[in-house]
Amino acid sequence: MNEEIKRPLLARLCGDMTESDRRNLNRANIWLALWLVSFAGSTFLIKGGGAAGSGPAGWIVAAMPIAVGLGAMLAYGRYLRQADELQRRIQLQALALGFGVAFFFGFGYRLLEKVGAPVADISDVSIVMTFFYFVGLWIGRKRYA
């Protein structure tokens, strides 16, 4: 059996990272997970109606994911600034692919809506962006591994 397949997934994806890169990326991923939990929790509280309301408590609940997202962006920025050249190159190429596809998909889909396609919202564009960011990471890992 191929030795590459036997290695755990994390080792295959991050095996060439320095300890500092791995630590910084883990920190950014923890912030991202916290953002996901805060976004889901805020959505639940706001849609539930009772807990958040539209007063000051509602504003705090709605702003929480924004504040946590800022922490995630700062942690990811630190990772990029301190990453070695190869990791930075892979990440920036993946970000460019994700952003570029989502940008043109978002504007292009608006035209499709005008001729009868189902209405999309920002979540749909975000899903496309995230998917193609991960495709970009996969391409980068294959290209430079």
Q: How confident is the model at residue 124 (pLDDT cuts 50, 70, 90)?
A: confident
R_g of the chain, CA atoms, integer Å: 19
Distance separating alpha carbons of residues 133 and 140, to the nearest angstrom = 10
Same-domain pairing of 78 and 40:
yes
Range of the domain at 91: 84-145
What is the separation, in whole angstroms, between the first and last Cα of the chain?
19
Distance separating alpha carbons of residues 6 and 45, to the nearest angstrom = 43
Q: Which of 36, 66, 83 lies at the terminal end of a domain, its last residue?
A: 83
Q: How confident is the model at residue 50 (pLDDT cuts 50, 70, 90)?
A: low
Q: What is the pLDDT of residue 136?
A: 95
* C-alpha closest to that of 79 among 23, 134, 12: 23
Same-domain pairing of 98 and 68:
no
Residue percentage of the chain with pLDDT more than 70: 86
Q: Which of 61, 83, 105 lies at the terminal end of a domain, its last residue?
A: 83
Q: If you average pLDDT over residues 18-44, what whole number do you get?
A: 93
The reported pTM is 0.77
